[in-house]
Structures are given as structure tokens and as C-alpha cells.
């Protein structure tokens, strides 16, 4: 039983003993910093059961707790708040119990036999990954890692949008203007090479529209009649018909893109357990629609199209098969979800990392899957997130004005290098050591800046601001970790000894209290699908540690026991920083 549970139970007994009344619930909260205390019992809600002056009631319950709970050392009452001071022995015993847990807060044995599948990235193969993809990838990867830490078995996956007219646009432009260019002949990553032809297609398409309009055609007609668009549409028809030459080109160009994507994923430090390809899944779902028709989940309109009526659920009617029998995206998504559970029978839920413009789509998808009778459908979640903007404005793929993911990673490393050199942070390092640290700082800055924000909120990303060594930034936290490692290197004594008989400084108590809630932060971040909870927990921990560092002498302590304890406490804070940042996909440098 936790201390909070013990106090709650004893408060109920106190009310029963002192006032002969039954108290159903007890409201506890952390004591406000301006008052002495660690845990506060809120008296006001009790007045429904116990009649009287809240201060007097608080005094009576406080005296009862001091007599009956050994961890409660003393108390004070401020209006209707009973502030309890917890004995140093409780915090010392707690710290001695946890200090050797290398994975403190992690549930390494899954709590149940149902796995969760997390989908993220899900790019198109007609262009490189960009800043918007980075937010998606970092969110999905972090939520997967947090879910694992919370005690779930996790599969990381993505679905690659490798078919459709947008892919054929890049293919047509490469055939017309590529002159057999390859990643090897150009020195370009494959995704960048293919993306260049997607941009080229759009340029030529716009030029042809202008020319057709100049010849007297309406703009609306010109958009449909531009020769290069008609070529792309014809190529798509050939691909769907299995034309050998078109399929061979499609495989070749997609292969280039996949190689490029993998390089970016490696640079970002993320991974996947499985891949799904739309070229394999786009025909899925039709059989499920037929089954749903026979079960009354769907209905057919006079033109032969098939729909799901969701009006009783506050939504609308949703098309699931066109009148010509072809599928829509919803059909594919229904079939893909069902296929994933067939492929991984232990999956009991899924998390889809997709931008908030698809909120309605996922409401409909999850509801239809529930109506089809799949028990796991109640455990489907849309990890919805907002756009990422830059100070210069919105990004547009077709016009080539996106912020390329690889360029951004390079830029972040470069910015970290410039700022580190200005501050003289890495004197005495070899060039290779400096490069590794710059990369950790730059990537850490990027990841933290994005993940510290609630996923639902839109972000204005400022690269230079993110690499600041002060404030709520990745480098600030990394620097604190490196400072702790320097302390540990200086402490040349056995740090495993249990320290029990010292008086804690208030700053030490605050640190231990913050460490105590790390397991709760992991569980909360997992249930809310929010890495921001971990990011901001870590920032608060670091602020507490720096306050401790500035107010308490570690190596100048009054006794050997105090010195050892402060080094142990520093080491454990460092370990929790490393664990928390690992959940965000961020590395911590040993020296900075």
C-alpha cells in the first residue's frame, strides 16, 4: 500500500473514531510550496459529512495521524487544508529501495497478453520525408516506446502509400526528363531524386495549363486536358492492368525511395517491426463489406453503391463501395485493420498516428469496425496531431517548398555546433567526438521541441530557439545530465551503501518526491498518448535538480554519509533523465 493510500485509510478511520461518521473518499494533493508539508488533506469536502469548523477538524485529524501513522512527523492547518510533514526516514527508505533499479518506472513484464500496434510515418513514395512527417514519426515512435514501458507488448508498423496517380506523376516526369538518372549517377538520395520529378511534373503541368488557356480553352478544361496529366492517368491504368514495363519502373523508383527513407529513419533513430504497402492492401476490405451487407451493417442504394448509416451515432451515411464496385479509402482501411489482426493474432488494439485533418475519418472507421463485431475495435485510438509551421509559413510539396527532413537534421546539427562553439562547451574533444555530440544535441533539440508540445496543438517550429542551452529545451536537459556524469566521475567511492541516518535538506526531499511520481508519469503518458507528459516531467525534474545543485554542496557536505547520499541522488536523477529521454527517442551525451 502506498503512503497516500495509507493516509487516506487512516483519515477515514479518524473521521469514524472522532466524529462517528463514514467518509467515502479523501482528497489528497501535493502541499503548495509556500507552506511546510509534503501531502495535503483537503478538509472542505468532508464538511458534507462532518459538521464543524474546518480548522478544528484539521487539527483533530492531524493529531490522530501523528499518533497512528509513523511516517507523519508533524502537521499544520491553513484554513481548510491539513498539511502533513512526512518523516525523512520515509524518503530515505524509499530512495534506498529504488536507487539500484536501472529501469525504475518501467513495467518490463506485459500486464496482459494483448499487444498494441502503433502505426506511424506512412509516407507517399513520390517525395522525401519532410518536417510534417518528422512530427508524425517522433510522436508515433515515442508513444510506442512509452506504451512498452507502461507494460504493453508493442508492434511498430507503417503503411506506405506506394500507388496512385501521385506516384505515376513522378514516374512520367522521370521518363520524359530523367535521362536515365539514378541515385548513383546523380549522388542524390533516392527519395530526393524521385521527389524532384514530382516537382518537375507540377511545373510542366502548370505550363501546359497556361498554354491551353492561351489557346482559348477554359481553365477548368485545361486542368483536365493537360497532356502530361493524361499521360499519368494512362500510366496508372497500365499499372493497375499489370503492364510489365510500368510495373518494372514502379518497382525501380519505389526501391530508390525506400532506400532513401531508411537512411532518414536511421538518422532519426527510429525503427519498425513491419511494413504494409497500399499496393498490397488496396483490394482488401471488399469481402468484409459483403459480409457486412449480409449482416445488415451496410445497405445498398439503387445505383449499386454500398453505404453505412451512422446517423443514429451522430455522424452521417458513409460510402464504402462505389456503384461500379471499386473501393474507397475507408474500404481499404477496414480491410487493412482486419488483416493486421490476422497477421498478429495477439493484437488487441491499434494506435494510428495521423494528422488532425483525418479526425472524422477515424471516428467513422472505428465505429464501422465495432459494428462489424470486432472486439478489438473498442481499443482503437487516433493519435491526432496538429500541423507544424515555420516562421516563413506553410509548406507545399508540389511546389518544392517543404522543409526536407534530412536537410532539417543537418541544419539542427550545424546549429548545435555553432552554439556549442560560441559557448566553448566542447574544449579538449577530438573532431569525431565533437561531431557525435553535435548530432546528439541537434537531434535532441529537434525531438524535444516537437514532443514537449501536446500532440493536439499546432507547432511553430523555430530551429535556433530549440537549441538554446537555457529554458525548456533538449540541450538544457542534456547539459544537466552531462553535469551529473561529471559528478559521478569525480566521486571515487562505493555508491551502493544504503544511507539511512541523515537529515534531508528540503531540496533533497523535493527531488525524491519528484522521482517518486516517474512511474505515474509513464502510465499517464501511455493512457493519454502524450509524450509531452514525459518531456515536461523531465524538465521539472531537471529544474529541481539544478535548484538542489545550486543550494546544496555535494562534495562539501558536513559528513561522509551526506556526501555519499548526494552523489547517489545525483546519479539516480541522471538515470531517470536517461530513461525519460529514451522514451522520447533522445540520446544523452556523457560529456558536454
pLDDT of residue 212: 96
Measure the CA–CA gap between 554 and 562, rounded to whole angstroms.
8
C-alpha cell at 542: 531537471
Q: Which residues pair with 77 in a beta bridge?
A: 82
* Chain centroid offset of residue 71 CA: 38
- Enumerate the H helices of 380-494 as residue ranges: 405-423, 431-451, 463-466, 474-490
Alpha carbon distance, N-terminus to C-terminus of the chain:
41
Among 27, 51, 86, the domain-final residue is 86
In a domain, 526, yes or no: yes
In a domain, 321, yes or no: no
Which DSSP helix (H) or strand (E) runs through 72? strand 72-78
Residues 6+ apart with CB under 8 A from 358: 382, 384
Same domain as 368, residue 249: no
In a domain, 48, yes or no: yes
User: C-alpha angle 262/266/271, rounded to 5°?
Assistant: 80
Same domain as 337, residue 262: no
Same domain as 427, residue 509: yes
Q: Is 561:502 a contact under the CB 8 Å cutoff?
A: yes
Residues 6+ apart with CB under 8 A from 313: 367
Same domain as 177, residue 142: no
Give CA separation, 255 vs 252, 260, 417, in Å: 5, 9, 34
DSSP per-residue codes, 448-469:
HHHHTS-TTS-EE--HHHHT-S
Q: pTM for the whole thing?
A: 0.91
User: Structural domain tally of the chain?
Assistant: 3
Same domain as 230, residue 198: yes
What is the gyration radius of the CA atoms in the chain, in angstroms? 30
Measure the CA–CA gap between 338 and 140, rounded to whole angstroms.
21
Exposure string over 530-550, b if 16+ CB within 10 A, otherwise e: bbbbbbbbbbebbebbeebbe
pLDDT of residue 392: 65
Interaxial angle between packed helices 518-528 and 131-149, expressed in degrees from 0 to 180 and rounded to the nearest 10: 120
Report the CATH number at residue 92.
1.10.730.10
Residues 6+ apart with CB under 8 A from 239: 163, 168, 246, 247, 250
Measure the CA–CA gap between 11 and 28, rounded to whole angstroms.
11
In a domain, 305, yes or no: no
In a domain, 316, yes or no: no
Same domain as 97, residue 48: no
pLDDT of residue 401: 54
Give CA separation, 281 vs 20, 99, 129, 160, 335, in Å: 67, 49, 22, 10, 8
In a domain, 179, yes or no: yes
Same domain as 122, residue 46: no
Measure the CA–CA gap between 417 and 404, rounded to whole angstroms.
20
C-alpha cell at 224: 483536365
Among 50, 68, 86, the domain-final residue is 86
In a domain, 381, yes or no: yes
Could you tell me which of 222, 225, 176 has the C-alpha nearest to residue 198? 176
Same domain as 465, residue 536: yes
Helices (runs of H) and strands (runs of E) counted in the chain: 22, 14
pLDDT of residue 399: 47
Could you tell me which of 401, 345, 577 has the C-alpha nearest to residue 475? 577
In a domain, 29, yes or no: yes
| Local mean pLDDT, 10-residue blocks, the chain (592 residues) | 92 96 95 94 95 96 97 96 96 94 91 88 91 94 97 96 94 96 97 95 96 95 96 95 96 96 96 95 92 95 96 95 92 96 96 96 97 97 91 50 83 86 75 91 94 94 82 94 94 83 94 96 97 98 97 94 96 98 97 84
pLDDT of residue 249: 97
Q: What is the dihedral of CA 99, 103, 105, 110, to 10 degrees?
A: -140
Among 86, 112, 128, the domain-final residue is 86
Give CA separation, 175 vs 168, 178, 254, 371, 473, in Å: 10, 6, 14, 46, 46
Report the CATH number at residue 69.
3.30.1360.70
Same domain as 107, residue 74: no
Q: Is 146:531 a contact under the CB 8 Å cutoff?
A: yes
Same domain as 135, residue 208: no
Same domain as 510, residue 362: yes
The SS3 of residue 269 is coil
Same domain as 543, residue 512: yes
Instruction: Give the residue numbers spanning the domain of 579.
Output: 87-159+327-592
Exposure string over 130-150, b if 16+ CB within 10 A, otherwise e: bbbbbbbbbbbbbbbbbbbbb
Pairing relationship of beta strands 81-86 and 39-42 according to DSSP bridges: antiparallel
Could you tell me which of 64, 43, 65, 40 has the C-alpha nearest to residue 52? 43
pLDDT of residue 450: 95
Could you tell me which of 256, 332, 243 has the C-alpha nearest to residue 289? 332
C-alpha cell at 111: 500486464
Residue in the structure block whose three cell numbers are 491553513: 78
Amino acid at each position: 500500500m502506498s503512503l497516500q493510500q495509507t493516509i487516506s485509510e487512516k483519515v477515514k478511520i479518524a473521521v469514524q473514531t472522532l466524529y462517528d461518521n463514514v467518509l467515502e473518499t479523501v482528497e489528497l494533493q501535493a502541499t503548495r510550496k509556500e507552506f511546510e508539508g509534503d501531502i495535503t488533506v483537503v478538509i472542505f469536502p468532508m464538511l458534507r459529512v462532518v459538521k464543524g469548523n474546518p480548522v478544528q477538524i484539521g487539527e483533530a485529524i492531524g493529531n490522530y495521524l501523528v499518533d497512528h501513522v509513523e511516517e507523519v512527523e508533524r502537521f499544520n492547518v491553513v484554513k481548510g487544508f491539513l498539511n502533513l510533514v512526512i518523516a525523512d526516514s520515509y524518503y530515505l527508505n524509499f530512495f534506498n529501495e529504488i536507487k539500484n533499479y536501472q529501469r525504475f518506472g518501467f513495467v518490463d513484464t506485459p500486464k496482459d497478453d494483448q499487444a498494441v500496434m502503433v502505426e506511424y510515418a506512412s509516407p507517399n513514395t513520390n517525395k522525401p520525408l519532410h518536417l510534417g512527417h518528422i512530427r508524425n514519426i517522433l510522436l508515433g515512435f515515442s508513444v510506442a516506446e512509452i506504451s512498452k514501458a507502461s507494460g504493453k507488448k508493442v508492434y511498430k508498423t507503417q503503411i506506405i502509400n506506394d500507388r496512385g496517380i501521385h506516384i505515376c506523376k513522378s514516374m512520367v516526369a522521370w521518363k520524359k526528363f530523367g535521362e536515365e538518372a539514378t541515385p548513383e549517377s546523380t549522388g542524390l538520395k533516392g527519395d530526393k531524386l524521385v521527389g524532384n520529378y514530382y516537382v518537375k511534373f507540377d511545373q510542366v503541368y502548370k505550363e501546359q495549363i497556361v498554354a491551353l488557356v492561351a489557346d482559348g480553352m477554359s481553365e477548368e478544361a485545361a486542368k483536365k486536358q493537360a497532356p502530361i496529366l493524361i499521360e499519368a492517368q494512362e500510366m496508372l491504368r497500365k499499372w493497375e492492368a499489370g503492364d510489365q514495363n510500368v510495373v518494372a519502373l514502379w518497382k525501380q523508383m519505389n526501391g530508390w525511395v525506400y532506400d532513401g527513407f531508411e537512411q532518414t529513419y536511421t538518422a532519426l533513430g527510429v525503427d519498425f517491426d513491419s511494413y504494409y504497402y497500399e499496393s498490397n492492401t488496396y483490394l482488401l476490405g471488399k469481402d468484409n463489406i459483403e459480409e457486412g451487407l449480409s449482416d445488415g451493417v451496410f445497405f445498398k442504394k439503387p445505383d449499386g453503391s454500398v453505404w453505412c448509416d451512422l446517423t443514429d451515432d451522430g455522424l452521417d451515411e458513409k460510402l464504402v463501395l462505389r456503384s461500379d464496385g471499386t473501393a474507397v479509402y475507408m474500404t481499404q482501411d477496414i480491410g487493412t485493420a482486419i488483416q493486421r489482426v490476422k497477421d498478429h493474432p495477439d493484437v488487441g488494439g491499434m494506435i494510428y498516428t495521423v494528422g488532425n485533418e483525418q479526425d472524422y475519418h477515424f471516428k467513422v472507421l472505428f465505429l464501422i469496425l465495432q459494428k462489424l463485431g470486432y472486439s478489438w475495435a473498442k481499443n482503437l485510438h487516433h493519435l491526432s496531431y496538429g500541423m507544424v509551421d515555420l516562421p516563413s509559413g506553410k509548406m507545399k510539396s508540389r511546389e518544392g517548398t517543404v522543409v526536407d527532413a534530412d536537410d532539417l537534421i543537418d541544419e539542427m546539427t550545424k546549429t548545435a555546433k555553432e552554439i556549442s562553439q560560441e559557448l566553448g562547451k566542447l574544449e579538449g574533444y577530438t573532431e569525431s567526438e565533437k561531431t557525435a555530440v553535435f548530432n546528439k544535441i541537434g537531434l535532441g533539440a529537434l525531438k524535444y521541441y516537437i514532443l514537449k508540445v501536446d500532440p493536439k496543438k499546432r507547432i511553430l517550429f523555430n530551429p535556433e530557439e530549440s537549441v538554446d542551452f537555457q529554458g525548456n529545451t533538449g540541450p538544457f536537459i542534456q547539459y544537466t545530465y552531462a553535469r551529473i556524469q561529471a559528478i559521478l566521475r569525480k566521486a571515487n567511492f562505493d555508491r551502493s551503501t544504503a544511507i539511512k541516518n541523515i537529515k534531508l535538506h528540503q531540496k533533497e526531499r523535493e527531488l525524491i518526491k519528484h522521482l517518486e511520481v516517474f512511474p505515474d508519469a509513464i502510465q499517464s503518458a501511455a493512457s493519454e498518448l502524450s509524450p509531452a507528459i514525459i518531456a515536461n516531467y523531465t524538465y521539472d525534474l531537471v529544474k529541481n535538480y539544478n535548484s538542489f545543485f545550486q543550494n546544496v554542496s555535494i562534495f562539501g557536505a558536513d559528513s561522509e554519509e551526506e556526501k555519499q547520499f548526494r552523489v547517489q541522488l545525483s546519479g539516480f536523477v541522471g538515470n531517470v533523465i536517461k530513461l525519460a529521454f529514451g522514451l522520447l527517442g533522445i540520446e544523452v551525451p556523457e560529456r558536454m
